[in-house]
Amino acid sequence: MASSDDHLKVDVYYNGAFVPNSLLYFDPDITTISGVDLRELDFEAFIELLSKVTRMSCVDVYFCLPYESLGEGIHSLYNDGDYKEFLEMGYNNGKRMKVYVDQYNEPIFDWIEADDGEEEGTEDLDCEEDEDSVFSDAESVDHEEDVELDANNHTTTDQFLNILCPSAPLNEDKHDDLPQDPIHNDKQAWDKMEPILGM
């Protein structure tokens, strides 16, 4: 009789849900079947064993190697042929497999095909964008004529601009032409004061 080390260990993922876009099995409960010689069981007996372990009806069942992503390595487990492939892959790859129970009957393989189609479409778009983004030497581009700016042309009569640009030279001649506002005399008696506009 074979020892339990010679048996295939199966990690069973159940009570979760498959989600599309880089296919994942979300929020599962996990249990392991070990110590059972699965080669002695046929497909129907294996499904009954899964139903006992998960305590749920196992209609849509999938399997995958532990080191492969679901999107690339998932296989359906619907009949004796699939079960033989499952056993063969398991015993040839470290005697460990993952089994997923889908209670929601999700269109998993349609999702995988859609993801593959989107990736191919994006590659085509990237190539088109790269071709369009390269400028051709044959195309002519019209430019406006370059205009030389006079850096010394500062407005010196505007006091606000002179405050912002103190390094600008002041024109003393024009500064004398500016209106002079009256200045408040604090020594004058309050009852003799007459307010003047601009004071």
pLDDT band at 82 (very low <50, low <70, confident <90, very high): very high
- The reply to whether the predicted model has a pTM over 0.85 is no
Q: 75 near 82, Cβ under 8 Å?
A: yes
Lowest mean pLDDT across 51-55, 93-97, 165-169: 165-169
Mean pLDDT of the chain: 79
Compute the average pLDDT of residues 143-161: 62
Classify domain 4-109 at the CATH class level: alpha beta
Beta sheet of 75-76, edge-to-edge order = 29-33, 9-14, 96-102, 60-64, 75-76
pLDDT band at 136 (very low <50, low <70, confident <90, very high): very low
User: Which helix (H) or strand (E) covers residue 159, if one does?
Assistant: helix 159-164
Name the residue ranges covered by the structural domains of the chain.
4-109
CA distance 140 to 53: 74
Q: 60 near 80, Cβ under 8 Å?
A: no
**Cross-strand bridge partners of residue 10:** 33, 97
Residue bearing the bigger pLDDT, 65 or 163: 65
In this predicted structure, what is the pLDDT of residue 135? 46
Block residue for tokens 């497909």:
43
